[in-house]
């Protein structure tokens, strides 16, 4: 009975492992993707603002849109397609190979052992990745605005700082945590309810990624409505 209780204890090293894996796995692509989005936002908005002689306001538009909306959303979509797919594929393979059943036979709760560390890791990692995404987008936007539209860098940073509010950053962080929970829940659910052989792992992975992206977009719409 004592050994059984030890098996049910939450293992913090597994959480640390998942945090490192999900963070390192996603950081490069998140930085690159966010930087390109920052460039695109400047190119799309600066031309319009130049017609009114207010091109220096591009820092405000990019800053608010990235921290409040684009940063959390694009980071969650990248993570769902990269980390979420890995979760479903790993757990689905274990399901097909009866490794999960073997763990249950040995009185090891697979939810505590496999799902909870991944669930908590995404909730903790996604806000951090979103912060890196915001920084990357703003840096690339700053370089684009200063080089192509002659917006002084100090002006860009000053305008962005004046317009970005603490509530924008907090809403973005809250969104990211919710998105992380949704991605982990859907991807792990699809893996644990997988039926069939090895060929079904691919189908479950694709389904999990699509459902995760839809869930993220739906949750973002709800946040947009309640945080107007």
Q: Are 130 and 24 in contact (CB under 8 A)?
A: no
pLDDT value for 2: 38
What tokens were used for 30?
A: 């998140």
pLDDT value for 199: 77
E-state strands within the chain: none
pLDDT value for 8: 53
Please indicate whether residue 85 or residue 3 has the higher confidence score (pLDDT). Answer: 85
Asked whether the predicted pLDDT for residue 5 surpasses 60, the reply is no
Asked whether the predicted pLDDT for residue 228 surpasses 80, the reply is no
For residue 151, is it left (φ>0), alpha (ψ between -120 and 50) or beta? beta
How confident is the model over 214-227, as a mean pLDDT?
A: 93
Reference 109, options 18, 23, 14; nearest CA is 14
Asked whether the predicted pLDDT for residue 100 surpasses 90, the reply is no
Query: Which residue ranges make up each domain of the chain?
Result: 11-223
pLDDT digits over 120-158, tens only? Answer: 999 999 999 999 999 999 999 999 999 999 899 999 999
């Amino acid at each position: 009975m004592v050994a059984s209780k030890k098996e049910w204890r939450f293992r913090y090293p597994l959480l640390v492992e998942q945090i490192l894996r999900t963070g390192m796995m996603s950081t490069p692509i998140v930085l690159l993707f966010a930087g390109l989005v920052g460039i695109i936002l400047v190119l799309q908005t600066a031309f319009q603002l130049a017609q009114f002689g207010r091109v220096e306001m591009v820092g405000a538009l990019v800053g608010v849109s990235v921290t409040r909306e684009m940063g959390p959303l694009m980071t969650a979509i990248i993570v769902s397609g990269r980390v979420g797919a890995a979760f479903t594929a790993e757990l689905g393979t274990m399901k097909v190979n009866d490794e999960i059943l073997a763990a249950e036979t040995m009185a090891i709760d697979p939810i505590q052992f496999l799902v909870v560390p991944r669930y908590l890791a995404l909730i903790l990692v996604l806000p951090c990745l979103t912060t890196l995404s915001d920084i990357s987008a703003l840096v690339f936007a700053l370089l684009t605005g200063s080089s192509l539209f002659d917006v002084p860098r100090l002006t860009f940073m000053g305008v962005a700082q004046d317009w970005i509010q603490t509530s924008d950053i907090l809403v973005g962080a809250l969104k990211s945590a919710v998105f992380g929970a949704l991605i982990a829940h859907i991807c792990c659910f699809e893996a644990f309810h997988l039926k069939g052989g090895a060929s079904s792992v691919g189908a479950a992975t694709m389904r999990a990624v699509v459902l995760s992206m839809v869930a993220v977009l739906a949750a973002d719409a709800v946040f947009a409505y309640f945080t107007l």
